Amino acid sequence: MQKMLSAENITVKYGGLIAVNDVSLSLSEGKILGLIGPNGAGKSTLFNAITGFAPVTSGKVIFYDQDVTHLPPYIRTRQGMGRTFQTERPYQELTVLENVLVAAFLRYSSRQDAEKVALSALEKVGLLDRAHQLSSDLNLARLRRLELAKALALEPKVLFLDEIMAGLNPPSLKEMIELIRGLTTTGISIVMVEHIMEAIIQLADHVIVLASGSKIAEGSALEVINDAQVIDAYLGTD
């Protein structure tokens, strides 16, 4: 199975603060990698370093055998990295379709081609019937789907999901889990930062646990949730 992405010995420092300390990971086609750990563990910083939104102090990011460590985010996006953000960022004065078109235009200059991709992305996330509704009218669950549609409009090979399930009620959470599982059947690989362990257990093929910027465990979801160090640093004993 082809390795699509690898991060080798990534360290990110801000002055004297080591936010990520010598962390490595790899991802194969159609697989889901989960990143978990307590707040301040370095998950989002590692996520940002891989996608180009945070500078790497040392180490390498390899994407399809190419060193992309110092490439800007927009180039990584064009090469096949798509991502969501923790905070929804819709253009509230635009419709749902127009929001996704903004992303699609990063890959297509033709309105016709961009709209075709945008509509396909909306269909995949179950928002096609909301295409001409203002994004400001969407509830939280649909806003999360809109963020996902914007990322899918970039036609990613690897999709980075940053706490996309936070705050969802149980029915919406179940639907999002099924939606994400379905994406991997199309060949998309996923890296997800997530606190909701139900989602990690159901989705992740491999899990990496960070604490204080360092990797403290990795393995299957069941292996890491039963790891004594993980329980002590993150999960607790309840």
In a domain, 46, yes or no: yes
**What are the start-end ranges of the H helices in the chain?**
43-51, 73-79, 96-104, 111-125, 140-152, 170-184, 197-203, 221-225, 228-230
Global pTM reads: 0.92
For residue 187, the model assigns a pLDDT of 86
45 domain residue, yes or no: yes
Is residue 238's pLDDT more than 70?
no
**How many distinct structural domains can be found in the chain?**
2
DSSP 234: I
Q: Which residue has the tokens 């910083």?
A: 45
pLDDT at residue number 2:
65
Q: Please indicate, yes or no, whether residues 71 and 143 belong to a single structural domain of this protein.
A: no
Residue 174 within any structural domain of the chain:
no
Mark which of 155, 181, 206 sits at the end of a domain: 155
Dist CA 160 CA 190 (whole Å): 6
Residue 138 lies in a domain: yes
Per DSSP, the three-state class of 193 is: strand
104 CB-near residues (< 8 Å, 6+ apart): 113, 114, 115, 117, 118, 121, 153, 154
Q: How far apart are the C-alpha atoms of 194 and 87, rounded to whole Å?
A: 14
Mean pLDDT score of the chain: 93
- Environment class of residue 98 by beta-carbon count within 10 Å: exposed (0-12), middle (13-18) or buried (19+)? middle
* pLDDT per position as a tens digit, 33-54: 999 999 889 999 999 999 999 9
87 shares a domain with 40: no
Task: Flag whether 183 is in a domain.
Answer: no
**Same-domain pairing of 147 and 91:** yes
- Which CATH number goes with the domain that contains 225? 3.40.50.300
Residues 64-84 pLDDT 10s: 999 999 999 999 999 999 999
* Residues whose CB falls within 8 Å of the CB of residue 210, separated by 6 or more in sequence, listed in order: 20, 23, 35, 36, 37, 41, 42, 43, 46, 216
Do residues 164 and 60 both lie within one domain?
A: yes
What amino acid is encoded at 31 in this protein? K
* Last residue of one domain, picked from the residues 155, 180, 209: 155
Report the percent of the chain where pLDDT is more than 70.
98
Domain extent for 71: 1-79+159-169+194-238
Q: What share of the chain is helix, strand, coil (3-state, %, to 5)?
A: 40, 25, 35
